[in-house]
Every structure is written in structure tokens, then in C-alpha cells.
Structure 1
Amino acid sequence: MASAQTRHRLTVRAGGARVAMAAEGVAEVIRTPRITRMPHGPPGLLGVTHLRGLVLPVVSLGALLGVETPTDTTRVVVLRRDPPIGLAVDSIEALNAAGDDDADAQHGRLLLDDASGARWFDLDAALQDRFAAFRAAPRALEREVVAGATVAKAAQAAFLGFVLAGQDYALPLDAVAEVMAVPKAIAALPRTETLLIGVFELRDAVLPVVSLRALLGLEQRDAQADDRIVVVRIGGHRLALLVDQISIILRVPREAVGPAPALFNRASGEARIDSVLRLPDGRGLVSILAPERILADERVSQLLAEAADQKDIAMASPSSATTRERFLVIRLGDETYGLPIAAVDEVVRLPETLTRLPKAPAYVQGVMNLRGKVIPVIDQRQRFSVSGEAAGEARRVVVVTLGGLQAGFAVDAVARILEVEAGDLMPAPELSDGGGRLFDRAARVEREGDVILLIDPRALLERAEADLLRDLTAKTRAS
């Protein structure tokens, strides 16, 4: 019975100091996982990670103690709190029985022993000071934004643009479930024609991968790094289409889309082209494919029928009772973040030249003309304090519009479109420094063991507008 009353002390090293804490306040100790950096976070916040259905903030214990040194953390001590928080430490030293002098450690205090001697450190006070708003926030705000954006864009037609053999094509965005890099584990099937590349597993379903080049009768080529998989919903099926490259997301008035000329459908390989869109500024035509015509292709329908008969490939669409949401995943440096697709107006290539604004802050790259509208372009690398410079053709401008606010955000690349089930969406902890809450949710990506922070589009726009007005006013006064 006496042993059940025994208290223990966990001793760790952080920033070169020895730190003891009550073991009863520790839920577990884990190896340092992959951590997603949270821009605008308080000093000492390393970022967030995913731990069994929770978004776990990870804080440097050395930074909290003010004894940070350039040592690498190897472990994260997960504190038994609601919600939990992780303390990144250099190493674990010991787990011992606690003495009588450790009573204060039961009340959120740490025993710190460094060059200045031994002393108590109030962990609770330090956390409250740096993370005063540390709590999970409701999802209602983001859902309201998405709903409003959906209504505002109802009069527009939205498309995902991609390239095949140097030509521009598009699919209705509503038919696109996901866009991703080509999986490494595509299983080739014996005795199949070039149309069917193979199959791969996606969330408990095995999807056939069809070459869209072969389907349209275009010249075949070897796989390349820019190749992408577009997962489309066609009737009661999901099908993976292999394309050369993703180019843009485009929203246009419905009247801007016209029927395809008969010339486009002169051959069986092109009979999937339903309509065409003439890009502004003489940028050419985009051929729009009809998903139902893809399914009508005898070869595709035969593949789906054979798979269903054999029951080797789970072709049924996910249960309609399961709520899903789609996100545009952008890349900035080594990190990826998500934006609700419903809030994204367009994705276009970053123009080679932008018109600079006099006295504009450095993070405003300039303005661009998008079908007669002048749109400011914000360098999101600077806004998120991403080190280094981005270059290359992968850079894109994500145009976001909500209410009377509209801006373009320059990103390193658009990584994918991700479809997430409601059960894999989690509230993000409120950790950012003032100025509104930029990340309101996080998405768990099970097959990658990763977590993607989701940006609240309204907060993104409002913060950009507020900072721009503040900086322009300050420069005007200074001059």
C-alpha cells in the first residue's frame, strides 16, 4: 500500500541545465517527432505535431527557462494537461523516487539546477505568460467563412487546370477529390494495356491509375517528377488520372465557358472534351474534360466493372454520411499549410514582373492584373518568416476573396489538393502572437503520419490588410 503512495521525480536536461519535475504530471515521453512550424508563434514555440488524434504544441523547455543553447532536442515530455503540451528537452537523465523537498513540484513547479545553483521555476506562470490564449477554439468561424464563400462563388464555374503533352486541359473542380504526387507504391497489373498504369491504396480503397495521355490518344512518355495524380469522382466511382503537371485553379463566370467546336471531337481520343474556355489576355484555350464522358469510355467502364466483379478493388464512393472538406495545400520552405478550397478564387503562375507600389512594405511584391482587376501580391514567405529565397517555375499566386477583401499570396508551390474527413479535422491550439488567430484547425494525414495546419482565410486577409494599412501609414508619416 505504501508503494502506491510513492511519488517520483523525472529529471531531464534542457539548455544545459538539469530540470526535475513531478513524474505524476507527465503523460508520456516520446522521441522528437516531425514538428510543423507555426508562423507568428510566441518565442520558444517550436511548432505542433500530431499525437493520437490531438494537435500537440511543442515548446522548447530551454527557451522557457531562459537557458537556451544550440543543443539538439531528442525527446518531448508530454505533460498531463487539458489540452496537453509537449516540452522539448535535450535528454532524459533519470526517474527517481521524490523526496520531501519535491512537494512544490506537484503544483506546476520545476526544480532547476544550473550554473546559478538550484532554484524553483514556476512552469504554470511561464506558460500562462507566453500562451495566455492556450486553448482549443471552436470551428464555427471557419465553417461560416467557407459557407459564405461558397454562396458568393455560386455564379462562377471553377476548374482545375493541368497540362498534357504541352496542351492545357481542365476538369470541373467539383469533380476533383484530391491531387497528389505520384505514389511510389503503384502496383502494376499483368496483361493490361497502356491505359491502366496500375493501382494504389488510398484510405482503405484501392484505386486504378489511368493514363490521361493514353485516354486522349496523346503520345506517351516516361514518368517525370512533375507528374501528378488527380483523383476524380465519377458517378459512384473514384478514379486516379495521371497528368503531366498541375497548372492553375480558375474561377470564371459561367458564360465564359462555351461548347467545344466539332473539330475538337473529331477523333475518339478527344471525345471527352465537353467545352472550352478562352483565357484572357490572349493566353490561349483550355479544353474542359467531362468526367461522365471519361466514364463512358468503354475501356474505363470495363476496368471499373472488372474491378467491381473481382471485388479486389474497392471502387464504391465513400459513404455519403461522411462529411469531407477539400483543402489547397501550399508549400512555403520546408512546411506545408492548407487553405479551404471554397475560399480560393484562383491559382495562377507568379508573373515574371509585378508593378511595384510606392512606399509599400517589402512583403508587398507588387500588383498584378487579373482579368481587369488590380490585385496586390503578398510575399507569404516574408509574412511567415521563411528563411532563404524561393525561385523557379513552381511559384504560384493564390488569390483569396472574402467579402470586400481580395489579395494574392505568393507561395513556393501548390503541393496538392487534399480531401479530409470530418473526423480527421482537429481544432488548432491558439498560440499565435496577437492580431487574430491565423490557424483555426489542423488536418491529420494518416497515410503520412503528418499534421497540416489550416489557415483561416478571413484571418489571413484581415491581417494582411491591417498590416498593410499600418505600414503604409507609418511610411507616409515618416516622409
Structure 2
Amino acid sequence: MDRPSSPAAPAAQNPVQLYGSFHLGEFELALPIDALQEVVTFPDAIARMPLAPAHLLGMFTLRGLLIPIVHLGSFLGLPNGTDHSEARIAVIASGDMRLGVLFDRTGEILRVSTGQIVPLRHGSESLGLIESAFHLGQRILQVLSADVLSRLPGLPHVLNPDLAQQASQRRMAQGSRHQAISFQVGGRPMALPMEAIHEIVRFPVLEHSVLADSRCRGWLQLRGRPVPVVDFASFLGLESCSTEAADGSDSEDLRRVMVLRRDDSYLGLLVDEVDSIVAYLGAQLLPMPAIRGQAGLFAGCISRCDTGAHDLILVSAPALLAEPYMAELAKGHHDLYLVADDELRDVETTRQRARETWVTFHLDRLMGLRIEQLCEVIDYDPTLVRPPGAPSHVRGVLNLRQTLITVIDLRSLYSMKEAEDLAASKILIVEHGGYKYGLVVDAVQNIVNIERAEKLRVPAMVANQLDTELRQDLREIVDLPDQTTIMLLDSVPLMQRLTGNGGGSTVVAALPERVVGQA
């Protein structure tokens, strides 16, 4: 992991965590880089285990060690598909345990300020697979707990000590173990050492640069720092990266920008696709003959003949950053576009303190709920069981991962017209007093950042037109740049009234106590 050396004081005040992101179905998940050993393709053969739980696909051998493969679909409500030809296995380490987690594809390497990371609380009955989450643009990434993954029920934990010892002896004989990020550029499989990569981000719309040429596409801003983006294929004399998605359709653009850092200057390499995290031994790195014009740019070739995978050309990050064109480009953008450090830190600190993240949803009108007040969002379940004697606004009781959750129909509570079709509805799971509750809404729309100074009190004329119950929970509104108005819902007074814990009258007085308090 790249450790910023200067300036020291700001780094200490604003520590960062490094994560690798992955995709599984509709979910975007992340794992701490410290817990990631490597990422491999799905093995040709796995050993199925009798009487194994649904989440254990089987075992495979990785350099003499048996690694169990876990599919998280059973915990996330996703089907367990059979086509794993494009899948990736993230091998994580937790203590002495090694575990493979199945994902559809890899994502990015992200540096996230600890101030952006929101820890998640879990009840005693919850597995706690998701330990935290963070907001990135319009996305929310959920961070998996490596410790909880290693303790999933039904996983084999006993390793053959002879195999482990033999594997360890082989590794010692073959040299030290290293990690690299593999990628494609101009049809060539290449890699960069893990410790050389500052971050990997999706290819964004770039800012125009006065230093742009046939190789430099422009620059992007990475938390206030200018990063010139070089088309790495063009730099190497290969076919340039395309300007559209790989198949020319509306599918996801697989291009990524790999950000390198040297002192206070940054450099971005535009590549066609990032493949995976590769672990290799010193004995696997073969020397490469010098090529005219590229002397020293390549540290060697990672031989992977034992696995049947393509060999990887390993790029030397120090040599690349010291190459005259790259060095001049990085320094030039630093000098031209960097805001003064003190000003940058002041602006960033003020912005972080003044910004809030809200999840917007529809309930007769556009509303928002603070992301800190939201545990998760699930689809509406038509099999809800409604207890006898429950108030009309109690839709029923939901069994969510062996936890009973009272589900509230907000339309009924706020005297709105009944929803015509609940199939598209969502349930917002919130927590209050140590218990979880579900709030039925029409649809979840987006995630937005709101500046505190932009929030306004609900005008009296508007408030007087709201239902009495709704008026107590909607006290602020905000206008977005696209002229959209969001009414901001505060779940605290709502849940206090629902449970009778706010000192006032409760609106669920008729609900049996075993249902209200069940979690």
C-alpha cells in the first residue's frame, strides 16, 4: 500500500483505508486490501462436499492448500448460477484461515477516508457479514467482514498440516511472495505491483488540459489533486484504447484509470480492463530482454505456466514515473492545476463537515432519509403475516434472516391513498431502541449529497396541508440543482411515536407487545 510521505500532518489527520471492490449480482461489495491475498479465475475443477450448506460451493487447491469457495448469494437473496466462466474468486486471509469468495467480476481499488466509512450495527441474531459502508458518488459500497466470512457456519477449518507445511516450504524455496494487479492494455496482459498503485477508478469525463497530446487524454481531479491521464496503449505504441464501451453498446465501460503517485505528483494510466489481484513468487519473475526506447520500464515477466494462465509483463512503477515524458506530465499538472495545500485542506474539511448523505424515495412525493438512519433496503414481501388486533398501519411481520421485523405501511399511517400495486414497493429497514422495523415506500430513487446550509424549514403554508402525523416527521426540505424538491423525513420522532418511547402517545398501542419488541 502506498504510504503518503508528505505532507505528514494532513495524512495523520485524515487517514485512509484501501479497499478492493467487487460485483455480485446487483450488489457492489468491498473488501479491505489487507485481507485480500489474491484474486483468481474460477478453477476448472472443484471438489463438492456432501451435506455442505448452500453457501459452500466446494473446495479447490491453490499452491498446495485446500481453499473453500463461498457464494454469498444465499445471504443476499441471489440465485446460485452454474455458469462461472467469467467469475472471480477473491482469496481472503483471516488468521490461519484461507477462504475463497465468489464474485461476478472485479471492480476498482479505492482509497477511502475513514471519515466516509459508516460502521453498521447488527443485532445479536445477525451474521454481521457487512461491517460498514461508504458512499462514492452515486454509489454505496458495502464492506464485507473478513472475520465473519471466515466463521460462516459449515466451512471446513481444519487444514492438512502436512500440506500446509509442504506449501510453506515450497514458497520459501521459491522466494518471497508478492502481489500485483493484472490488467489488459492493447490486447496485452500486463501487471503493476500492488504497492505501486495508489488507487484504481472508473474512466470518467476528463478535464481539458493544456498539456494534452496524442498520449495524454486530459486530467481528472482526485480529492482535489490533479491526475493527468495517459492512454497507456498509445504510450507503448499499441492500439489505443477505444472511446466507447467494449462492444459499442450501452454496457458498462470496462476501462479503468490506474493512479500512481510520486511524492506530491500523480499519474493516471488508462487501461482497457483490470483483471484481478495476482500473487506470485520471486522464482516466477523471469528477466526480460531490454527493448529499445523502453529500457527499464519492465521489471520482468510473471510466468504462470503452472496454472495455464497467460504470462504477465510486470511494469516497473519507479521507472515509469521517472520516464522523462511521464515525469514532466505529472509535474506540469501538479504545478498548473493544484490548489494550494492549505486552501485545499480547508475547503475539503468544510465540505466534509457540511455535507450529508440521503437516500431518496417516493411516497406520494419525493422524500429523503438520512443514510445513517437506514440499515438496508429490501423488496416488498407479499407473504407478510399480519397479527390479529394490529393497527391498520401495521402491514405485518417479516421474517428477515431469522429476525422478526414489524412492517409499517407509511401510506396508511400518513392517511394517504392506498398503493395500487405493491410489487414495486420497497421496505426501508430502520433501527430504534435495539429493534428493527420496516417502512413501506413506493420506490427508492437515488442517493444524494446535501449541504446542511441548503436545508430549509418546511413553509407554514406547505406544512398546513400535510397530514398531522406527517407534519411531525417532515420538518425540512431541500431544492436540488435540477430543481427537484426533496422533503426530508426524520425517522427518530416517527419511531418514538410508533413504539411509545418518545414520552408521548404511541400509534401502535393496539399492537401486541411481542410483535413490537420482537427482533
Normalised by the length of structure 2, the TM-score is: 0.54
Q: Within 5 Å, give how 1:97-112 maps onto structure 2.
A: none
Q: Aligned ranges for residues 12-411 of structure 1 at < 5 Å?
A: 155-214=15-74, 216-222=75-81, 223=83, 226-262=86-122, 268-269=126-127, 271-279=128-136, 281=137, 283-300=138-155, 303-305=156-158, 308=159, 318=168, 323-351=176-204, 353-358=205-210, 360-387=212-239, 389-390=241-242, 391-392=245-246, 393-411=253-271
1:251-290 deviation digits (Å, cap 9, x = unpaired): 123343231144xx68635x122222222x4x23221112
CA distance in 2, matches of 1:449, 1:414: 15
- The alignment of Structure 1 onto Structure 2 pairs a total of residues equal to 314
Counterpart of 1:293 in structure 2: which amino acid?
V
Are the equivalent residues in 2 in contact too, given 1:428–1:439 (CA < 8 A)?
A: yes
Residue-by-residue CA offset, 1:350-373 (whole Å, 9 max, x unaligned)? 12x222324621111111222232
Shift of 1:250: 0.8
SS of residue in 2 equivalent to 1:447: coil
Q: Does 1:441 align with 2:294?
A: no
1:405 Cα offset (Å) = 2.7
Q: Tell me the residue number matched to 2:377.
A: none
SS of residue paired to 2:73:
helix
Say which SS state the counterpart of residue 185 (structure 1) adopts: coil
Give the RMSD, CA atoms, in angstroms.
3.3
Equivalent-residue separation in structure 2 for 1:444 and 1:465 (angstroms): 28
* Greater mean deviation of Cα atoms: 185-194 or 162-171: 185-194
CA shift, 1:376, in A, is 1.2
Q: Using a 3 Å threshold, how does the CA distance of structure 1 residues 169 and 204 change in structure 2: closer, same or farther?
A: same
Report how far residue 226 of structure 1 moved: 4.2
Q: Which runs of 5+ in 1 are unaligned?
A: 1-145, 473-479
Distance 1:421 1:377 in 2: 31
Other structure's SS at 2:59 match = strand
Return the offset for 1:380: 0.8
Secondary structure at the counterpart of residue 230 of structure 1: strand
Tell whether the 8 Å contact from 2:189 to 2:311 is kept in structure 1 after alignment: no
Q: Measured at CA, do residues 362 and 188 of structure 1 come closer, stay the same or move farther in structure 2, by a change above 3 Å? A: same
Tell me how far apart the structure 1 counterparts of residues 147 and 330 of structure 2 sit (CA, whole Å).
48
Sequence identity percentage: 27
Q: CA deviation at 1:171?
A: 0.8
Q: CA deviation at 1:469?
A: 8.5
Report how far residue 415 of structure 1 moved.
Answer: 1.3
AA paired with 1:437?
A: G
The structure with higher relative contact order (CA 8 Å, sep 6+) is: 1
Distance 1:376 1:275, change over 3 A: same
Deviations 1:369-393 (A, max 9, x none): 2223221111111112222653432
Change (3 A) 1:331 1:377: same
Q: What is the deviation of 1:231?
A: 0.7
Per-residue CA deviations over 1:77-112 (Å, capped at 9, x if unaligned) read: xxxxxxxxxxxxxxxxxxxxxxxxxxxxxxxxxxxx
Judged with a 3 Å threshold, the aligned counterparts in structure 2 of structure 1 residues 359 and 286 are, in CA distance, closer, same or farther, namely: closer
TM-score of the aligned structures, taking structure 1 as reference length: 0.58
What is the rounded CA distance, in whole Å, between the counterparts of 2:124 and 2:217 in structure 1? 45
Q: Distance in 2 between matches of 1:394 and 1:290?
A: 27
Is 1:465 aligned to residue 323 of structure 2?
no
1:201–1:367 distance in 2 versus 1, CA, 3 Å: same
The question of whether the paired residues in 2 share the 8 Å contact of 1:187 and 1:198 is answered with: yes
How many angstroms does 1:338 deviate by?
1.3
| Paired AA for residue 184 in structure 2 | R
Supply the distance in 1 between the matched residues of 2:118 and 2:3 (Cα, whole angstroms): 28
